[in-house]
Amino acid sequence: MDPTLFKGVTLILPEGIREGDLLVKDGKIADIGPSLPEHAAHIIRDKGLTLMPGVIDPHVHFRDPGAPHKETLASGSKAAASGGVTSFLDMPNTTPLATTRDTIAQKKAIAADTSLVNYGFFIGATPDNLEELQKVEQVPGIKIFMGSSTGSLLVDQPEDLERIFKSTPHLVAVHAEDEAMVLANKAKLEGSTDVWDHPRIRTPEAALKATKLAVALAEKYNKRLHICHLTTQEEAEFLATHKPACVTTEVSPQHLLLAGRAMYERLGTLAQINPPLREERHAEALWKALKAGVIDCIATDHAPHTLEEKARPFGKAPSGMPGVETALPLLLTLMNQGKCSIQDVVRWMCETPAKLYNIPRKGALKTGYDADLVLVDLNAQKTLKNENQITKVKWTAFDGWPVKGLPIATYVNGNPVFREGDFFLEIKGQALTFMV
């Protein structure tokens, strides 16, 4: 492929914001400078646009294999590309469960054939798949559901958790909710059809208890721990003073932006996710923790269920909402509102996920790095709408939200995969590398 030269764009570089050019050759960033020579290059002149590294979404549920009516690696990766996401890490609660080397290999094979962007797959922990967890290679980590959620994955017995923390080589990522506390609360509120009871079943205390246990185990075994989707002020305050170097955490845009009873009244079970959306004080504390660096990065927890499934009454509706394609526009909107800088967005969504998961040559605009890029128009505005969503489930909890700051074009390993509504479906992403 001809080299591609981005000419006269705003570059978000690790050293600062610069006007200039960026040359892509053989899928890599070959050169960056104020004015690069134009010979032998396919030239992209997008004056006024900003070039940033592609977003790395470290937490999605693309439902492949097993639930193609909700999403597939093809449809999910397409939604990702439209949202400026060039790499994703997919969770193991697929069908069959991704709890063995074989099922991981199966998911990688589907992705190699169908994913538009780069991919990695977590292996799921069960009480009895230790050998698989020990022997699997090239995964971002081991996912432990300390409390049960969508699907049947669950490891809630302390001795099982100890064994996994003690004797596996990989990073451990946890869904931290205390199963026993959640079950006890559920029994008390049995039969409730009020979705506002969701955060009263899955309480801040249940999240804090599991988070504290995970941190204690990480400290005891000096284990690399990533706490998925932080949701409470209590956890943020705990981590502000108890976050050893081996521990990192993430937050989702929905937990930053959607809160309170009125929101639940408006969205009904569309707002039902695990761990839940909560009162406003939590969203405020999470934003502060992100700004302060207590929370390391953003993850979408894209967990699509169809509108039909979500229309079941509370108690029967599944938990989860889509989000892979709305995250970058929502964060750029916060940037435009003066709440953070574009460098913050790049650090939270590109640079840090690459660092946390030891993914080499990604997450920054640097010579020699992979050309995973997104061209954004920081001034473009639109209203998010269900019918415009690329995800198979065609809805967003942010339906009707005005956003400012949109991805215009997305490049994966130097290849255009998305531009202004069009997809280049012949391009395929690559398996991510995880350094050990």
CB of 276 to ligand DOR, least distance (A): 8
CB of 148 to ligand DOR, least distance (A): 9
* CB nearer to ligand DOR: pick between 224 and 305: 305
Residue numbers at the binding site for Zn ion (CB under 5 A):
175, 301
For residue 45, how many C-alpha atoms fall within 13 Å in the half-sphere facing its CB?
2
CB of 319 to ligand DOR, least distance (A): 4
CB of 196 to ligand DOR, least distance (A): 16
Report if residue 175 touches ligand DOR, rule: CB under 6 A: yes
* CB nearer to Zn ion: pick between 62 and 398: 62
Report if residue 61 touches ligand DOR, rule: CB under 6 A: yes
* CB nearer to ligand DOR: pick between 23 and 321: 321
Report if residue 320 touches ligand DOR, rule: CB under 6 A: yes
How many residues bind ligand DOR, per CB under 6 A? 10
Q: Which residues pair with 25 in a beta bridge?
A: 28
Which position among 64, 156, 296, 301 bears the catalytic label? Answer: 301
Q: Are strands 16-25 and 123-124 parallel, antiparallel or unpaired?
A: unpaired
Report if residue 94 touches ligand DOR, rule: CB under 6 A: no
Judged by beta carbon distances under 5 to 8 A according to partner kind, the member of ligand DOR, Zn ion, none in contact with residue 115 is none
The identity of residue 291, as a single letter, is: K
* CB nearer to Zn ion: pick between 197 and 301: 301
Report if residue 271 touches ligand DOR, rule: CB under 6 A: no
Backbone φ/ψ region at 178: left (φ over 0), alpha (ψ -120 to 50), beta: beta
For residue 302, how many C-alpha atoms fall within 13 Å in the half-sphere facing its CB?
35
Q: Which of 150, 211, 254, 352 binds ligand DOR (CB under 6 A)?
A: 150
Q: Which residue sits closest to ligand DOR, CB atoms considered? A: 320
* CB nearer to ligand DOR: pick between 92 and 353: 92
Structure tokens, 14: 């690790």
CB of 147 to Zn ion, least distance (A): 9
* CB nearer to ligand DOR: pick between 374 and 393: 393
**Burial (0-12, 13-18, 19+ Cβ within 10 Å), 370:** buried
Judged by beta carbon distances under 5 to 8 A according to partner kind, the member of Zn ion, ligand DOR, none in contact with residue 215 is none
Structure tokens, 56: 């790395």
- Whether 370 is catalytic: no
Judged by beta carbon distances under 5 to 8 A according to partner kind, the member of Zn ion, ligand DOR, none in contact with residue 195 is none
- Residue 415 neighbours by CB distance under 10 Å: 19
Report if residue 269 touches ligand DOR, rule: CB under 6 A: no
Cis amide prior to 276 (ω within 30 degrees) = no
Q: Are strands 415-419 and 422-423 parallel, antiparallel or unpaired?
A: antiparallel
Judged by beta carbon distances under 5 to 8 A according to partner kind, the member of ligand DOR, Zn ion, none in contact with residue 93 is ligand DOR
User: By CB under 6 A, what part of segment 273-312 binds ligand DOR?
Assistant: 273-274, 303
> What are the backbone dihedrals phi and psi of residue 226, each rounded to the nearest 5 degrees, phi first?
-120, 125
Which of 275, 272, 271 lies closest to 299 in space, CA to CA? 275
- Residue 358 neighbours by CB distance under 10 Å: 15
For residue 403, how many C-alpha atoms fall within 13 Å in the half-sphere facing its CB?
24
Q: Which of 319, 326, 413, 415 binds ligand DOR (CB under 6 A)?
A: 319
CB of 143 to ligand DOR, least distance (A): 10
Report if residue 118 touches ligand DOR, rule: CB under 6 A: no
Q: CA 157, 140, 425: angle at the middle one, nearest 5? A: 130
DSSP 240-292: HHS--TTEEEEE-HHHHH--SHHHHHHHGGGG--SSPP--HHHHHHHHHHHHH
* CB nearer to Zn ion: pick between 175 and 282: 175
Structure tokens, 132: 């698989």
**Which residues have a catalytic role annotated?**
301
**Positions in the binding site for ligand DOR (CB under 6 A):** 61, 93, 149-150, 175, 273-274, 303, 319-320
